[in-house]
Structure 1
Amino acid sequence: MKLCTALLLALLLLSDFQSTVQAAEKDKRPNIILIMCDDMGWSDIGCYGGEVQTPNLDRMAKEGLRFTQFYNNAVCWTTRASLVTGLYPRYPRPHLNRNMVTIGEVLQQAGYQTALSGKWHLGRTESTHPVYRGFQDFYGLLDGCCNFFDPYYRDPKFKRGITGDGSRFFAENTTRITEFPENFYTTDAFTDHAIQEIKTYSETDKPFFLHLCYTAPHYPLHAKPKDIAKYKGRYAAGWETLRNERYQRQSKMGLVDPSWKLPARDPESADWEQDKYPRDWQERRMEVYAAMIDCMDQNIGRLMATLKETGVDDNTVVMFLSDNGPDASEPGGANPEQIPGLKEYYTTCGPSWAFPQNTPFRRFKTWMHEGGISTPLIVRWPGKIQADSLTRQPAHIIDVMPTCVELAETEYPTTFQAHKILPVDGKSIVPILRGETRKPHASLFWELRNNQAVRQGKWKLVADRTINRWELYDLEQDRTETKNLASEYPDRVAQMKADWLQWAEKTGVAQQKHQRGKQVP
C-alpha cells in the first residue's frame, strides 16, 4: 500500500514537473511588436532610398529583412481592419464586427499579454473599442488624426472630428483625456507608454503582443523646432529633383529594377519651376514632414534600446510598416498663411510633395496604383531572420494576423465568444521570414472609392476612378505602371475582371458600388 502511494506521489510529481517544463517551453514563444506609422511614402526612410535621417529603422533593416512587395489597403481604416483581423474589408462599414476576431483576442486567449499604444480608428463602441477587442491596455487616439502637441486642440479652420465639435477623442483605456502637459507630443507619448508596457510585461513569465501605432507623419504637419532645423534648405531643389535622387539611390540599393521607367510627374503635382506658391513655404512643408519621420525614428530607437535593457531583445519579433501611401489631400486648400510645424496651424504636404514621397511609383493614398497600396515592411528577429536580407515575394496586410497566430503557436478560431468567425483571408509569412519560398496568394484584391485592383502573379489589373477603365500591367517588367497592356491581352483582362467581381460580391463591395451607381466597364 505504501509502495503504491509512493509510486502515485512520484507520478504526480513527475506530471507537475513535466507541466512546469512545458509551461517554460511555452513561455519561450516570441514577443511580438507591430509598429505602424501613418501616411508615410514607400521611399521616405533611409533603407528604402530616402534622405530622411532614420538610423534606427536602417539598423532594423540591417539586422533583419526588408520586403519590396508588401501591400496595404490604401487608406487607414481599411488597412487597420485587415491588419487586426486577417480579412479583406467587409462592407458596409463598420469594418470590425463580431463575426471577426482580432489579433489581440487570439493572442490574449493564447496566453499573451496585449497592449495598444497610439491610433486605433476602428471605433469606440463596446463592440469596436480596443479594450473590448483583445487589448488589455490602451492608450492613444480613437480618431483618425489630431493635433500633435494637444490632441484636444480644435483647429478653427478644420472642425471635423468624431466628437462632432472638431475635438479628437484621446483616451487611456475607456477614460477620455482632454488636458495635456506643455511639452506633450504624440509620437513621444505613444512611445513612452509602449516602453512602460514592455518594462512591465518583461517582468512576467508570459510573452507579450504590443501594437504601436504612430500618427506620424499624417497631417497636421507638426514637429519640434530642433527636428525641423535638421532639414532647413534640404528641399530647395524641389520635388522633381528629390524624386530623381531617391530613384537613383533605390536602383543602387537593389530595391527597384533600373529597367523600370520613372513615371512622369503626377497630374496633381505642380511644376516646381512654375510653382506659384512661396518657395520657402513649400520647402517648409517637406522639412516638417521629414522632421516628423525623424522624431518617430528617434522614438523607435528608444523602444529598441528598452528591449535590450529588459533582456527580451533576442526573443522579440519587431515589424514596421505604413498603413498606406502618402496623402495628397489638402483639407481647406493650400494656404501659405498656414505655417507648417506650429501647433496653431493645420497644414499638409499636398500632392506635389506626395509625388516624390512615393518614388518610384504612381499615385498615392486612396489609389490602387502601386503608390497607394505599397508599404515598406521591415521585420527583425535576432537569430531567426537572416540579417540584411531582402525579399521580393509579394505579401499583403491580411497576412499579419496568420503570421502572429503561427508565431504564437496557436490556432485561428472558428468561433469566439459564441460568434461564428469568418475564415481568415491571409496566410502566414513565417516561411518568408525563415528564408523559404512561400506559395503566393493566387489573387490579391483591392477596392476603395471606385478605385479597384487585382493582382495575379506578375499581372495587375487596376482601375482609376478618374478615367473609369481597366489597365493591365506586367509588374515584373513594369512595376512603375507606365505601359498599359490591356489592349494586348483582352482575355486576361476579362478573366481578372471576373475574378475581381466575384470577390466584390463576397466582401460586399459589389453592393456598395451598386448603391453608388458606378461601375468600371
Structure 2
Amino acid sequence: MCWTVSSLSAAVAAGDGEPKKPNIIFIMADDLGNADLGYRGGQVSTPNIDTLANDGVRLESFYGEPVCTPSRAALMTGRYPMRYGLQTLVIFPSHTYGLATDEKTLPQALKEAGYKTLMTGKWHLGHADKKFWPQNRGFDYFYGNVMGEVNYFTRERGGVIDWQRNGQFLAEKGYYTDLIGDDAVKLIDEQDGKQPFFLYFASLAPHAPYQAPESAIEKYNNVPDKLRRSYYGMISELDVQIGRIVAALDKKGLRDNTIILFASDNGGATSGLFASGSKSKEERDTEEGGIEQGEKAPASNAPFSGGKGSLKEGGVRVPAFVSWPGRLKPRIVNEPLHMVDVMPTLLALAGGKGSSDHPFDGKDMWKTISDGAPSPNEDVLINVEAFRGAVRKGDWKLIKVALLPGKTELFNLAKDPGETNNVAAENPEVARDLEARLLQYAREQKMSLWIKAQPAFVGAQGKTVIDPDFDIDDDGLPHEKVAIPN
C-alpha cells in the first residue's frame, strides 16, 4: 500500500503553483503522566506546551504502546510492533536485536520525498549493531543516545557513555534536555527555507532516573516528595526547550509552515518496576534519582487507571496534540487514534510513499485532526503479545490476559474512563466481537524478539552491548571517535 498526497490545500502555495511542503517537528516525551501538564490540570508549570496545545488540536484519545520501544517503533514504521517482533517490553542494554532493517522508516520515506531528516535525543530501537542506529535508518543527522535511559548529567549506562553525534561518541558536560534543546535550536538556525525538514526531538525526560538541575527542582520546593520534585523539574526543563524550539522557528520565519506534533511514548510510570525495570539493583541503589522496583513512581495518569507497562488507559492513552498556525483551528478531538497513524498522515502531507511490501496498519488521520471527522480506524490495536492484548472499537475496549487463570475485561470508556467496571458479562456480543478481532491480530503477530532473546539474555544480564567496532575503555568510552571536552 502506498500513501501519496491527494490534496495539499492546507499547505502554503509556492510561487510556481506547486504546494510548498511543510516542515515537520515531532516532539516525543518519555513516560509523561497524563495529568502532569499545565493544560491538563497538573501542578507542573508548562506554559510553552500549554500554548501549543490550547492553540492547536488536542488529541484526547491518542494511544501509544505500554512501553518505550514498541511505541517508538510504531511511530517510525506506521505498523503495529507485533508485525516485526517488538511488541514485548523494551530493548535492554544486553539485548542485541533492533528494529528490523527491512521495515521502511518515517525518515527514510520523508528523505525520498525531498526532506532533510534530523534527530536529537533518545532512539531505543537497537544499539548493539550500527545497522540499527538512526543515521543508518534514514536520518541525515543524529545527536543523542541509542539505548534507553542514561544518566542525565553523564549520559552513562552500564559502564558505557551512550552519547554520540553521527557515530562519533562524545563526553560532553551538561544536562541531557538542555543539550538536545541547544542542538535542536542550532539545527533550525541552519535551515534556509529552501528544503523542507523533519526534526524528531526525542526527549528522555521525564523518564527515570529522576534528575534535574537544582534551579528547576527549586521551583517545586512546596512539593514534599523528593522524587516528584525532580520529576516536575524535568518536565519544566522540557517545556523550556520546547519554547526555545518555537522561538527559533519564529526567528527564522518558519513557524507558519511548520507542523508540530507532540506525544508521550506511553503513560507515566507509577511503579518503580516500569520506571527503571531494566536496571540492576546496584545501579538503582547507587544512582542519584534512582528508584526501587517496588517503590511508587511520581507520575499521575488521572483520571485513568494504570501506568506505564499496563494495558489500562493510564499506560497507553497519552497526552498528544498537533499545532500548525493558520492551518489548524483550536479543537478537541476525542476519536481513537494511534501512534501508527502518524507516518501515513505525515507522508500524505509531504507527498511521500510507504512500502508496498509492508503495508501500514495506521491510517491518514488528517481529516480527523483538521475537520473533526470520525476516526479512520475501524478499531485500534493497543497491543498484542502471546500472553495479553487489548483492542478498542468506538467507546468499547477489551483487555484479555491469557496467563492462567486468564481474564477478559470489557469497558465502555465513554461511561467509565477509569476502567473500574468490567461489563463483559452484560455485553457478551460486544466482548465476543472484540475478542475475535484481538485473536486475529494475535494470529498475525511475529515471535517476540524479547522473548526469543531470553536464553542469551539471562547469561548476559547486566552487561551492556554496544557495537563491536567500538571497544570500550575502562572509562566507558570507545577507543575511537571520542571527543573529550577541555
Band the TM-score falls in, shorter-chain normalisation = 0.7 to 0.9
CA distance in 2, matches of 1:302, 1:356: 25
The structure that has the greater radius of gyration is 1
Aligned-partner residue type, residue 238 of structure 2: M
Going from structure 1 to structure 2, the CA distance change for 1:25 and 1:134 (only over 3 Å counts) comes to farther
Going from structure 1 to structure 2, the CA distance change for 1:457 and 1:96 (only over 3 Å counts) comes to same
CA distance in 2, matches of 1:127, 1:486: 46
**Other-structure match for 1:92:** 85
**Other-structure match for 2:463:** none
**Other-structure match for 1:110:** 113
Other structure's SS at 2:230 match: helix
**Other-structure match for 1:303:** 245
Distance apart, 1:430 and its partner CA = 1.0
CA distance in 1, matches of 2:304, 2:146: 31
Pairing 1:370–2:370 present: no
2:418 to 480, 505, 517: 480
Going from structure 1 to structure 2, the CA distance change for 1:25 and 1:197 (only over 3 Å counts) comes to farther
Conserved 8 A contact 2:384-2:438: no
Pairing 1:394–2:336 present: yes
Residue deviations 1:229-281, cap 9 Å, x none?
Answer: 111123x4xxxxxxxxxxxxxxxxxxxxxxxxxxxxxxxxxxxxxxxxxxxxx
1:132 to 136, 153, 160: 136
**Other-structure match for 2:361:** 425
CA distance in 1, matches of 2:126, 2:64: 20
CA distance in 2, matches of 1:352, 1:220: 13
Aligned-partner residue type, residue 361 of structure 1: F
**Other-structure match for 1:227:** 216
CA distance in 2, matches of 1:462, 1:22: 48
Conserved 8 A contact 2:23-2:259: yes
Conserved 8 A contact 1:366-1:448: no
Distance apart, 1:467 and its partner CA = 6.7
Other structure's SS at 2:110 match: helix
Other structure's SS at 1:462 match: strand
**Other-structure match for 1:462:** 399
Deviating more after overlay: 500-509 vs 53-62: 500-509
Conserved 8 A contact 1:81-1:95: no
Other structure's SS at 2:190 match: helix
Structure 1, unmatched stretches of 5+, are 1-20, 160-165, 237-282, 415-420, 517-521
CA distance in 1, matches of 2:349, 2:293: 39
Structure 1 segment 110-259 matched on structure 2, within 5 A: 110-124=113-127, 125-152=129-156, 159=158, 166-177=159-170, 179-181=171-173, 184-201=174-191, 203-234=192-223, 236=224
CA distance in 1, matches of 2:29, 2:193: 28
**Other-structure match for 2:372:** 436
Going from structure 1 to structure 2, the CA distance change for 1:232 and 1:409 (only over 3 Å counts) comes to same
CA distance in 1, matches of 2:169, 2:347: 32
Aligned-partner residue type, residue 196 of structure 1: K
Conserved 8 A contact 2:272-2:296: no
**Other-structure match for 2:89:** none
Q: Structure 1: which 4+ aligned runs deviate by more than 4 Å?
A: 21-27, 330-335, 349-356, 464-467, 509-516
CA distance in 2, matches of 1:466, 1:317: 46
Conserved 8 A contact 2:105-2:137: yes
Structure 1 segment 20-35 matched on structure 2, within 5 A: 25-26=17-18, 28-35=20-27
CA distance in 1, matches of 2:52, 2:32: 17
**Other-structure match for 1:43:** 35
Residue deviations 1:467-513, cap 9 Å, x none?
Answer: 73010111111121111011112333233222211111212269999
Going from structure 1 to structure 2, the CA distance change for 1:360 and 1:466 (only over 3 Å counts) comes to farther
**Other-structure match for 1:275:** none
2:234 to 267, 292, 295: 292
Conserved 8 A contact 2:85-2:448: no
1:407 to 349, 362, 366: 349
Distance apart, 1:168 and its partner CA = 4.3
Aligned-partner residue type, residue 456 of structure 1: K
CA distance in 1, matches of 2:422, 2:220: 38
**Other-structure match for 2:438:** 500
**Other-structure match for 1:15:** none
Distance apart, 1:199 and its partner CA = 1.3
Distance apart, 1:25 and its partner CA = 5.0
Distance apart, 1:466 and its partner CA = 8.9
Pairing 1:82–2:82 present: no
CA distance in 2, matches of 1:490, 1:390: 32
Root-mean-square deviation (CA), in Å? 2.7
**Other-structure match for 2:10:** none
CA distance in 1, matches of 2:98, 2:29: 20
Going from structure 1 to structure 2, the CA distance change for 1:97 and 1:370 (only over 3 Å counts) comes to same
Conserved 8 A contact 1:429-1:438: no
CA distance in 2, matches of 1:119, 1:29: 26
Distance apart, 1:438 and its partner CA = 3.3
Deviating more after overlay: 47-56 vs 326-335: 326-335
CA distance in 1, matches of 2:184, 2:300: 28
**TM-score, with normalisation over the residues of structure 1?**
0.75
Aligned-partner residue type, residue 77 of structure 1: T
Going from structure 1 to structure 2, the CA distance change for 1:185 and 1:449 (only over 3 Å counts) comes to farther
Structure richer in helix, relative to its length: 1
Distance apart, 1:289 and its partner CA = 0.3
**Other-structure match for 1:61:** 53
**TM-score, with normalisation over the residues of structure 2?**
0.81
Aligned-partner residue type, residue 188 of structure 2: I
Going from structure 1 to structure 2, the CA distance change for 1:81 and 1:510 (only over 3 Å counts) comes to closer
Conserved 8 A contact 1:91-1:512: no
Structure 2, unmatched stretches of 5+, are 1-12, 87-96, 455-486
